[in-house]
Amino acid sequence: MAAQTTSFRMMRCVSFKRPAIALCLVGSLSQVSIADEDDYLSEISIEAKKVDSELPTKGESTQNSEVGSVENAARIAFEEDLKSRYMGSYTFYLKLPRRAREEVYEEYIGGASIDEIRKKIMNRFLNQ
C-alpha cells in the first residue's frame, strides 16, 4: 500500500488510490451498519415480549364489541357522542327515517367532521 506525507503537520496518511481498497472499506462500514441495525431490531423484539398482553386503557368501543357486533358498537358510540355533545342535532337525528340515519352514520364513518354531520342531519330533516 502506497503511503504519502501530507502538508498538515507532516502526518502520514494512507493513500486510497486503489478503488478496491476503498470499496472494501465502504463494504465493511455498511456491514457494521447492517449488524448494528440487526442488533437493534433483535433488542426491540426481545423488549416487545415484555409488554402485557392487555393494555389497561383499551378502548371502549372495542370492549363493547363483545356485547354486539363491532359495527353496532361503533354506531352506538357515535349516537351516544352526538347525544352528549349536540342534544339538538341528536333530537333531529332520531326523527329521521332509518335509511337517512344510516346515511348520516355512513358519512361519519367516512370521516366527515361533526359540523358536516350536523348540517347533514338538518338537511335530511328539512328535506324529508
Partner 1 sequence: MNCYINLIFRVSLLLLPLIAVAEEATDGKDLEVKLSSEKPFTHVIHEGRAVKVQRIQDPDYQLQGYYAKTARKCPPFCLQPMQVDPQVATIGEIELFDFMEGKLRDKTGLLIDARTAEWFNRGTIPGSINIPFIGLSKPGTPEMEQALLLFGVRPRGSVGAISLKLEQMGILGNEEMTEKWDFSNAKDLVLWCNGPECGQSPRAIKGLLKVGYPANKIFYYRGGMQLWQLWGLTTVVPGE
Query: Which residues make up the interface to partner 1 (CB under 8 A)?
Result: 37, 39-41, 43-45, 47-62, 65, 70-71, 73-74, 77-78, 81, 84-89, 91, 108-109, 111, 113, 122
Q: Tell me whether residue 16 or residue 40 sits nearer to partner 1 (CB atom).
A: 40
Scanning the structure block, which residue is given the C-alpha cell 324529508? 128
Q: Tell me whether residue 20 or residue 55 sits nearer to partner 1 (CB atom).
A: 55
Q: For residue 118, give every residue at least 6 positions away whose Cβ sits within 8 Å of its Cβ, in sequence order, or none.
A: 86, 89
Least separation, in Å, of the C-beta of 66 and partner 1?
10
Its sign, for the CA torsion 76, 111, 114, 120, is negative
Least separation, in Å, of the C-beta of 106 and partner 1?
11
Least separation, in Å, of the C-beta of 92 and partner 1?
9
Q: Tell me whether residue 60 or residue 102 sits nearer to partner 1 (CB atom).
A: 60
User: What is the distance in angstroms between the CA of the first residue and the CA of the last residue of the chain?
Assistant: 89
Least separation, in Å, of the C-beta of 22 and partner 1?
21
Q: If we measure between CA atoms, which residue out of 68, 80, 87 comes closest to residue 108?
A: 80
Assigned C-alpha cell, 27: 463494504
